[in-house]
Amino acid sequence: MAREIRGFRIFDGMLGATAQRDMVADVRRVVRAAPLFAPVTARGQAMSVRMTSAGARGWVTDRRGYRYQAMHPGGMPWPPIPDSILAVWNAVVPQARSPDTCLINWYAPAARMGLHQDRDEADLTQPVVSISLGDDALFRIGNTERGGRTESLWLRSGDVLVMGGAARLTYHGVDRIAPGTSTLLDAPGRINLTLRVAG
């Protein structure tokens, strides 16, 4: 059963320990083929997360701005989205189109993600599904327009979050992670997987 906060559905502990370990092994295979890179915003600001993608397209940002593109910045294609990750999408949003991109964000202990909307996708009627692995993250949920009161919750390893419907354009971000709260990964840090229909 999911709980709901401001239209975001949260499936606490949806993935058990074995499923999480298998998924991390799949993520490592993707990262070996399409290495994590350090994104920079259009204004030249370094983001604190490291990222890569799987799927037909991947989200990138550099001095030319935000976009989805068919190739990794290193020139290689993005690897396919692992079945273990697709299975989560099919379980929580079975009515949606298939995702064509899975963003992989790596949070080192000091990394964070400012409040933002996910709005670079062509069809905003399709949901976004986000999977947390590794250390806990303090996740902040705002409103569909910038500003106003916000609400925070801790996302833990194995939690799955769905942003869809009226909440598809709700602002969200990660204030901080809590290093050492999970033993899933070899080192302190957090992986977030974000599945989307981009094209």
Contact residues toward Mn ion (CB under 5 A) are: 118
The one of ligand SIN, Mn ion, none whose footprint includes residue 105, by CB under 5 to 8 A per kind, is ligand SIN
**Site map 97..136 versus ligand SIN, x via CB under 6 A:** --------x-------x----------------x------
CB of 163 to Mn ion, least distance (A): 8
CB of 1 to Mn ion, least distance (A): 24
CA distance 150 to 104: 25
Among 88, 93, 96, 174, contact with ligand SIN (rule: CB under 6 A): 174
Neighbouring-strand partners of residue 173? 140
Structural tokens at position 45 = 């600001």
Q: Which is nearer to ligand SIN, 89 or 139 (CB)?
A: 139
Q: Which is nearer to ligand SIN, 53 or 130 (CB)?
A: 130
Tell me: does residue 53 bind ligand SIN (CB under 6 A).
Answer: no
Among 137, 167, 184, 197, contact with ligand SIN (rule: CB under 6 A): 137
Residue 44 backbone zone (phi > 0: left; psi -120 to 50: alpha; other: beta)? left
Q: Which is nearer to ligand SIN, 96 or 129 (CB)?
A: 129
The one of Mn ion, ligand SIN, none whose footprint includes residue 139, by CB under 5 to 8 A per kind, is ligand SIN
Binding residues vs ligand SIN (CB under 6 A): 105, 113, 130, 137, 139, 155, 172, 174, 192, 194
